Amino acid sequence: MKVLVATEKPFAAVAVEGIRKEVEAAGYELALLEKYTEKAQLLEAVKDANALIIRSDKVDNEVLDAAKELKIVVRAGAGYDNIDLEAATAHNVVAMNTPGQNSNAVAELVFGLLVFAVRNFFNGKAGTELMGKKLGILAFGNVGRNVARVAAGFGMEVFAYDAFCPKEAIEAAGVHAVDSQDALFETCDVVSLHIPATPETKQSINKALVGKLKKGGILVNTARKEVINESELLDLMAERTDIKYVTDIMPDAHAEFAEKFADRYFSTPKKMGAQTAEANINAGIAAAKQIVGYFQTGCEKFRVNK
Ligand code: 3PG
């Protein structure tokens, strides 16, 4: 049995060693394709793989066609919008994610970005503090919950909206539940996005919504670039010269954002939210265990395709 780890953005070495231990303890072989630059390399590497561990690497119909022996693909992470789920099902491939395993890392980065933003990107001018400010969390999943926990330490007042999570569950975590996305943006000084990229959420963070932010509002995105309506956000930031946008997912229009709003916009060059040794170990080893569990017992926990 061959397990391929294919990561354009590699795991920390210590996480790869952890994955290797799990895979070899089960009597399987581990193959590595790290930092690949061409899709052709992935197509070649998947040919004889029975299982595949990926991060944001795209697994589409072409990859699945090439992966003749593939039975399972595990996205070591939360968002699985990079896997063509219908194609996986059509190829009889089980697709899974590892929810929660990297969420603290992403939540910590939210505050790294926020401190950087409120201190004017360390340009020497007096900024503001986070204490006492209202933080809105859009979607109260694993990352959102960790953001709420850390925000409490900063002394922020925390609000959340989640279309799929009952208000009582949000309130039980000590967070004010609001009734709508609009209400969240109207209420808060800072809004942090934790929604997945789905047909419903794509482009949903638009001018009308972000325009509801209070004066000096900050939008933080550690979710997906696809949820942002970039042209409308560009328009809004031109009109509302008080709004800042900080993101861990470089927008398609990065050059335009950077040129027009040098003092109000920042993007990490490469998505760094889950890029910690701990998150890599947690998500990578969980992925390896899920693969071994699937082959040994048929366990389909965390399966995301039908
Ligand atoms: C996730 O969905 O788990 C995060 O966006 C992390 O993605 P990455 O593994 O590409 O860093």
- What tens digit of pLDDT does each residue of 122-140 get? 999 999 999 999 999 999 9
How far is the centre of ligand 1, averaged over its atoms, from the C-alpha of 282 (Å)? 12
Among 55, 97, 108, 146, the mutation site with the greatest number of ligand 1 atoms within 8 A of its Cβ is 55
Whether residue 146 contacts residue 100, with contact meaning beta carbons closer than 8 Å, is answered with no
Q: Given the CA of residue 97, which atom of ligand 1 is nearest to it?
A: 3
Distance 55 CA to ligand 1 centre (A): 6
pLDDT at 154: 98
Taking the CA of residue 271 as reference, the ligand 1 atom at the shortest distance is: 11
Q: Give residue 182 CA to ligand 1 midpoint distance, Å.
A: 27
- Tens of pLDDT along 21-77? 999 999 999 999 999 999 999 999 999 999 999 999 999 999 999 999 999 999 999
- For the CA of 224, the closest atom of ligand 1 is 5
**For the CA of 222, the nearest atom of ligand 1:** 5
Residue 280 CA to ligand 1 centre (angstroms): 10
Burial class (CB in 10 A: 0-12, 13-18, 19+), 144: buried
Q: Are 63 and 46 in contact (CB under 8 A)?
A: yes
Distance CA 168, CA 161 (A): 11
Residues with CB under 6 A from ligand 1: 9, 55-56, 77-79, 102, 271, 273-275
pLDDT value at position 67? 98
What 3-state DSSP class applies to 169? helix
pLDDT for 279 equals: 98
* Pairing, β 72-75 against β 51-54: parallel
Q: What is the pLDDT of residue 253?
A: 98
| C-alpha 272 to ligand 1 mean position (Å) | 8
pLDDT at 62: 98
Residue tagged 């060693």 (tokens)? 17
Rg of the chain in Å (alpha carbons): 20
In order along its 306 residues, the chain shows pLDDT tens digits of 999 999 999 999 999 999 999 999 999 999 999 999 999 999 999 999 999 999 999 999 999 999 999 999 999 999 999 999 999 999 999 999 999 999 999 999 999 999 999 999 999 999 999 999 999 999 999 999 999 999 999 999 999 999 999 999 999 999 999 999 999 999 999 999 999 999 999 999 999 999 999 999 999 999 999 999 999 999 999 999 999 999 999 999 999 999 999 999 999 999 999 999 999 999 999 999 999 999 999 999 999 999
Question: Cα(113)–Cα(188) distance, rounded to whole angstroms?
Answer: 17
Residue 263: count other Cβ atoms within 10 Å of its Cβ: 11
Model-level pTM? 0.97
Q: Whose CA is nearest to atom 5 of ligand 1?
A: 79
What is the predicted pLDDT for the residue at 263?
96
Atom 9 of ligand 1: nearest residue by CA position: 55
CA of residue 281 to ligand 1 center, whole Å: 13
- List the strands of the sheet with 51-54, edge to edge: 29-34, 2-7, 51-54, 72-75, 94-97
Q: Cβ distance 167 to 177 under 8 Å?
A: yes
Q: Please, are residues 247 and 267 in contact by the beta-carbon 8 Å criterion?
A: yes
The CA distance from 258 to 262, in Å, is: 5
- pLDDT for 210: 98
- The tokens for 19 are 């994955």
Rounded to the nearest angstrom, the distance between the alpha carbon of 103 and the centre of ligand 1 is 9
Q: Report which ligand 1 atom has the smallest distance to the Cα of 56.
A: 10
